[in-house]
Each structure stands twice: as structure tokens, then as C-alpha cells.
Structure 1
């Protein structure tokens, strides 16, 4: 009997410990910083953009190849057969030849140097675009986060509204039974309860959609979100915000680097009109066995020299390429102004939305206070018969509307604040102090910079897969 009691006690302790662990896991709230970190590390848009940046990095190496020699080897082995009718002889040969050819550019009209500088500018522009996408993902993260919190509060308010109106309906029915109110009062309460239930269903659906959006952006379930922390430091004035945005926003930076790249492309194409000078060298060996007389000949050749190619006329194609590059440079130059104006407009809009939201919060708090006092007063007056059931229901609806508007205004203030942070180019993992392993584009760039041989071994490069039809 004692042993059975001991076993039962152990099982009870184990169950209690398991429940405590489960409760502690559920009690732990996910923070906005954790949502930021999850989106930064797992968002597929960011992962794809980082891979695309690595591809752009390689264009620098491809451009630098113009500085290096081009070396190739060729080997030929076969059989030649010929017949000479005048001599009525047949000759068969078994020729073999091998050669190595090398060419080193000495002058190409600046095409290689301008191409390299242009591709480096492309890398800088793509990095800025990645930075812009990072800010967009983090802004969508904070928006999804506070949307879930807002809709959870909406559901809470809607449930409380259903509870209050249900109590009002019960009270109306009780008073109807004793003749204090009419059937109309009961019907009004029933209609209000139906509307409250419909509103609860509506906000519950909105909450589920917000959760779906959160999962799409962050990559995890919004099970237990902590209240949002205070907003990060914001610019003190609109002029300051605009100045910082025009100087630091990655879209403006990307446009500037893109313009530099397009100018380099123009110079690269102009180089196609200039002379090309290259150092060329070759060495070759060949032998041939003649079967008719069993003779064998072999020959070794070597040569080295400088070749100059002067373009005279190319059908107008090169001049057309130059004009095309000039047009694209003009487009990129105009895009700088486009991006600058867009950033200014975004900053001004975020600043206005922030001001409106803050004013709405001040007014909303006063509205909630007044609506709550009015509801309590109307409810007390209804008890003594000086107010109708409809008056009570209207007062409750006004209280619900006031609280809902306040919650929405607080959400709008938070999103507008972070929109302003993103608009000035400050919503990055580094500037927000996220506890993540920051993506460093220099790591892969430096690893493959001036890499002459080799590539990454992946499942795409397995030889069996390459030759498979």
C-alpha cells in the first residue's frame, strides 16, 4: 500500500512538473524584436535578394577577366586518305597535332576598366536595393505585429459588447415579464445582440487574416504577442526627416550608383570605336605518318607578336550601342530625382499620419471617458424608467465605437512612426539593434574576389546531374 502511494505521488509530481513547463512555455510572450529577428533570418524575399546580390558580385569578376590572358589548347588526331590517279598511288596519313594559344590584351580603349567600375557600381546599387527590401520586410513585420494586437483587442471589445448586451436582453425580458417595458424594448435588445454577434464574427475573421499575414511575413505563429515597445527615436522636425531621407534612404543611394554604372557603360561602348592591341603567342607540334612509305614527319612551331585591330566601319552598330547607353544613362539620371521626390512624399505622408494619429489618440481618450460616463448614467436612468432600452443600447454602442477608434488610432500612430523610421532609411537590423547574425555582403564578395578557378559544389553541379538528359 505504501509503495502504491509512493508511485501515485511520483506520477502526480511528474504531471505537475509537465503542466508547469507547458504553462511557462505558453506564458512566454513573443516580442517585436523576436518577430524582427525571425523575419530577417527566414523571410524568403530577403533570402532570394541575397542570392541575387551574390550573382551581381560575380559580374565584377567577369569584367576583370578582360585584364587577364586568354589561354587555350587544342589537340587533333585522325586519319587522312588520298588517291593520286596519275601515279596510281594511294597515300594514307595518321596525323596528330597539338597547340597552345595565348592572348593578352594590352589596350582595349578603356573597355575593361570602365566595365569593372560599372559592375562595382552595380554591386553597390544592388546592396542598397537589398537594404531597401530589408526595411520593407521589417516595416511589414511591425505592421503585421500591431495588426494582430489591434484585432485581438477588437475581438476582446466585441466579446465584452456581446456580454453586456446579453445582460441587457435578460434584464429587458425580466422587466417585460413584470410589465415595466414593452415587447418593442425586448426586440430592440434582441436586434442589438444579433448585431453584436455579427460584429464579433467580423472582427474574428479580421484577426485570422491578420494572423495569416503575420505568418507570411514573419514565418511563425503569432501565439502570444507581447505589447509593442515604445517607438524608436524619431526625427525632431519634418525638415530634418526630409534631409536625412534624401541622404540616407537606400532607394536614393541605389539610384545614384545605377546612374554611375550607366555612365560607365557609355564609356565602355565608346571604347569599342578605339584600336585594340593584344599580345599573342602560340606553340604547336604535329606529326604525320605516311603508310605508303612508312615515313614519319614531325613539326614544331612557335610564334609571338603584337596584333592591333583598328575598327573602321561596323555597319553603324557600335554607334547605336553608344546612343542606347547614353539614353539609359539619362534614364538613370532622371530616376535619381524620381526616387528623391518619392522619398520626400513618403516622409511627408508619414509625418502627417503620425500627427493625425496622435491627435486622434488625445481626442479618443476623452471620447472613451465621456462615453463610459454617459453609458453608466443612461443605464442608471433606465433602471428608474427615465430612459428606454434603446437609449441604453445606443450608449453601449457609442462606448464600443469610442474604444475601437482609440485602439485603431494607437495602432496607426505606431505604424506611422515606424513608417517614418523606414522613410529616413533607419529601419535596418543594425540600426534597430536586432540580436541576429547580420548578413554581411562583403564576406562572399571578398571570398570570390579575383578568384581564378573553382565554383561552389552544390547539387546543381554534380557531374552525374550535368550529363543527365
Structure 2
């Protein structure tokens, strides 16, 4: 009997109270049990075995494609990542601004009043002293400065490459976010489908157990069974009721997860469709993943960006050349007469040559090289994680498919076992325990098959996610796709000039391509590796002691209470 009460829902969850599911405690009918010539007891011929009828699924109102389409359009996580990518696009616009002309206008106005001393007063004419006892001076000057960079030592070109690769990494991250969202939607969709079907099976099981319990009680009243048979049946009914409650709560949790991802409560979900793009072999999956996996693309783009940062760091020590034009206007502010003002125009070529920087440039270059080495190693780490996840997903699909074949055969055997056990029970050849055990075995086989079907489907979606094809452009048609390139074009066009391309070509003339050095690894020794000496761990006693003395300076002390004097 222990095997009967340990069968649970596909996923454990706290039970909820459902008023409709309570164990019946009184017999609903009385039956007569005639005896055969040999003295054995048998069930009345007019009594039919308890039927197991699963309620038919209602007409679907929602498909998986509709759920994915809604999530693609409105999921907050995906929208936030899109705006994060838009902000990254502006990095390229900032890099373009480094080779564009800048201009500024400076206006300076001044007023001075001087009370002349004897020496100054003696130098002034009599008329000036009579007309203005004080010396007053006011001035106004305007200066327009235009600066056009020509050579930045390769810094502007390197910044443009950094921005380009950073945008590529951001787009790959956006694809990864989209794939994660779709995988979550598919998973919760399959969970709702599974738990809905399991709930229907458990509800039908409760109805069948109710009929069985009535039969057992009727036989007990006829003196054919004992209270042990009643207790066995009631126990199994209570277990089934608890499993029904658990599955009901799990279904509500899945529906809440669906609403969080899609933005609305789910309707009646249609059966899961076959997912497109599934590979014919694991080798084909690896080929596609090497080209489309978003995490691998992001790692490669990040490495390229850090490689360009080496050139940007080296450009800090390179000469810079710019053209500067200045127009000035200076004169008296009051009264303001343009013809009395002085006009000046100047043009300059400014060459800045760094000489001594205290080792700053060398430190920046070394820092950039080390970060690039870390990113290069990160590519291999990402590739290994991708391969591991793909192998696990592929095997999960294969095992789930094998389990479905086994469980389909098991389900057929369990049906024969259940029907035969009950027929033998009617003839008095089987006990109540045998009937309940057969019922439980059949229900467990049905639920296990439903769970395996869900596991296979989710594993297929997980494999597609790791391949990089679990996204709108590969799964669906008719959904307007988000185009990240449009925002980049707007950022590039902002402030553009017809001669920008020529100036960027001039600036890139002295750009130096950084060389990648080798990645240092620990030296290979001739001594074979061995584990350091260790002592055998003695038998330990459990302890309830936990050190709770905080480190010095890591916790505050309460302030001393102050005495308040009443007036």
C-alpha cells in the first residue's frame, strides 16, 4: 500500500483548499451479494465496474504562436533590452563626432570705473576732469572659434570600431533576451497544457475512487469486507484528493507565470505545434550554433571591441593635428558702433605632440591587452558552455522520446492489468488492495506519459534556443520584426556633413592596427601532478556552534540614550 500513497504530481507544490474535493464518508447505496455454490462471495451481476471517463478538452481559444507574438510585442524585458541597444547606438554617433568640426562663440563684456588719484588726475585734461570726474571704461568682444580635427593619432578610428563591435554585442544580447523570453513562454505553455491534462486525469480518478468506495462500503455492510478495506479505499481517496489539490495549485502558478510573460491570462491552450528549425543531427546543430548562437556572437563581438581598445589606448601617445579658425570683434559696448569696432581673423594649424606622460600610455595599453586576453579566453568558455547545454538538451529529447515509447507500452499493460484485476475482484479472487493498486498504476502511467511529452517538447525548445534560432524571425511569419539597424541609421545621420567620409579617411591614415600577443599559460613541468598530502578525516561529532563575532569595523554600535530634562 505504501506504493499507492507516494505517487505525486509531476512537480511538488503546496496544496490549496478546494471545497469540491472531499472524501465521501457515507455509502450512497446498498447492494446484495449472493453466494456461489462453493461458498465464495461475488458482486451482484447488475453492478457495473467503476468507469474512468476523462472530461474532453474544451475548444482551444489560443495558440502558442499567438502567445509568442504577444510576448514579442509587449514583454517588458525585451522592450528594455531594445532601449538599451538604442543607447549603445549613440556610442557610434559619439565616435563620429570626434572627426567633425566643432565651433563655439565667446562673448565678453566689461565695465570698469576708476576714481583717479592725484597722479592720474594730473595727467588728465581739464575738459575730462570737468566732464567726468571718474574714469569709466566699457568694452565688448566677440570671438568665434571653429576647430576641425584632421589627425587624432588613430583614436577616432579606434573609437568607431569599438562602437561598432559594442553594437554587435548589444544586438547579440538582444537576440539572447528574445530567445530566453520565447523559451520561457514555450515552457510555461507546455506546463499549463501538462497540468491541465493531469488535472483532468486526477479528477476522473477521484470520480472512479468514489464509485469504488461506495462499492466497498456496500460490501462491508453486507458483511463481506472489513473496516480495513474501507480504510484502504478512504486512504487512497484522500491521497488522490491531495494530489488533485496540488496539481490545481501548480496549474494556477503556471497561469500566473504565463500572465507575467505574455501580459494577460491564458485562454484554452491548443496542443503544442511542431517547432520549426529542429536539426536532423547533433552535428548539424553544432554547425548552426557556431554561426547563430547569441552568447557566442556576443563573446566574439566583445573580444573585437576590446582589441580595438588597445589601439585607442596607444593613440593617447600619438600626435594630433587640427585646423583652427578664429574671428574676433572687439570695441566699446556703449555706445555700440560696429564701424568703430576692430575686426580680426586668424587661421592656425595646431600640432600636439605628447612627450612625457609618466607611463600612463603604457599602462593603458597593457591594461587593454590583458582585458582583450580575458575576452579571448571568454570566447572558448562560452563555446564550451554552449556545447554542454546543447548536448544536455539533445539527450533530454532522446531520453524523453524513449520514455514515451516505454510509457505508451506501460499504459497499455496497465489498462489490461486494471480491467483484469477488477473482473477478478468481482469474482472474489482479488482484494480491495489489488483493485486500488491497479487503479494507481494506471493513473501513474497516464500521468508519466503526459509529463514525458512535456519534457520532450521543452527540451526541443531549449536546443533551438542554444542554436540561436528560437526567435521571431525563425519561428513565425506575419509578425512585424523589430529592426535595430533603423535607430543606428538615425544616430549616424544626426549631425552628418557631406565631407565626413573624407575626413575619416584622413584621420585613419596613421591608425595602427594592434597586434595580439600570445596568451600566457602555466609552464608545463616534467614532474607528474599529484595531490598534496592529506590526513584521514576522523569521525566527527555534529556541532551546533556558529561563530557570531563580527569583524572589527563591520557593524555599528547603538548610540547611548540621552536623558531629557523636563522643564
The normalised TM-score by structure 2 is 0.73
The structure 1 residue matched to 2:490, chosen from 447, 458, 465, is 447
Deviation at 1:74, TM superposition (A): 1.3
Cα distance in 2 between the residues matched to 1:94 and 1:225 = 82
- 1:413 pairs with 2:456: yes
Cα distance in 1 between the residues matched to 2:391 and 2:328 = 71
Deviation at 1:379, TM superposition (A): 1.1
Larger Rg: 2
- 1:53 pairs with 2:85: yes
The structure 1 residue matched to 2:72, chosen from 21, 40, 47, is 40
Partner of 1:338: 381
Q: Deviations over 1:223-253 (max 9, x none)?
A: 2100111232422222221222122212111
Residues 143-182 of structure 1 mapped to structure 2, 5 A cutoff? 143-182=187-226
Partner of 1:260: 304
Deviation at 1:398, TM superposition (A): 0.9
Cα distance in 2 between the residues matched to 1:104 and 1:207 = 66
Partner of 2:504: none
Whether the 8 Å contact between 2:109 and 2:333 is mirrored in structure 1 is no
Matched positions, count: 425
Structure in which a larger fraction of residues adopt helix: 1
The structure 2 residue matched to 1:388, chosen from 427, 431, 441, is 431
Q: Deviations over 1:145-169 (max 9, x none)?
A: 0000001011111111111111111
Partner of 1:281: 325
- 1:91 pairs with 2:139: no
CA RMSD, 1 decimal: 1.8
- 1:224 pairs with 2:268: yes
Deviates most, 372-381 or 322-331? 322-331
- 1:372 pairs with 2:415: yes
Deviation at 1:289, TM superposition (A): 5.8
Whether the 8 Å contact between 1:92 and 1:290 is mirrored in structure 2 is no
Runs of 4 or more, structure 1, over 4 Å off, are: none
The structure 1 residue matched to 2:287, chosen from 203, 227, 243, is 243
Partner of 1:430: 473
Whether the 8 Å contact between 1:126 and 1:254 is mirrored in structure 2 is yes
Q: Deviations over 1:76-118 (max 9, x none)?
A: 2242223442224732222111110011111111110111121
- 1:118 pairs with 2:162: yes
Q: Give the unaligned 5+ runs of structure 1.
A: 1-25, 454-469
Q: Give the unaligned 5+ runs of structure 2.
A: 1-57, 122-132, 497-567
The normalised TM-score by structure 1 is 0.87
Partner of 1:81: 113
Deviates most, 52-61 or 321-330? 321-330
Cα distance in 1 between the residues matched to 2:256 and 2:356 = 62
The structure 1 residue matched to 2:234, chosen from 186, 190, 208, is 190
The 3 A distance-change label for structure 1 pair 233 and 115 is: closer
Whether the 8 Å contact between 1:93 and 1:290 is mirrored in structure 2 is no
Cα distance in 2 between the residues matched to 1:112 and 1:338 = 31
Q: Deviations over 1:105-133 (max 9, x none)?
A: 11111110111121011111111111111
Cα distance in 2 between the residues matched to 1:233 and 1:383 = 54
Partner of 1:21: none
Cα distance in 1 between the residues matched to 2:116 and 2:493 = 56
Cα distance in 2 between the residues matched to 1:435 and 1:179 = 69
Deviation at 1:174, TM superposition (A): 0.6
The 3 A distance-change label for structure 1 pair 83 and 327 is: farther
Deviation at 1:290, TM superposition (A): 8.5
Question: Secondary structure of the equivalent of 1:305?
Answer: strand
Question: Secondary structure of the equivalent of 2:120?
Answer: coil
Cα distance in 2 between the residues matched to 1:435 and 1:366 = 41
- 1:127 pairs with 2:180: no
Cα distance in 2 between the residues matched to 1:370 and 1:137 = 40
Whether the 8 Å contact between 2:318 and 2:353 is mirrored in structure 1 is yes
Partner of 1:67: 99
Whether the 8 Å contact between 1:101 and 1:282 is mirrored in structure 2 is yes
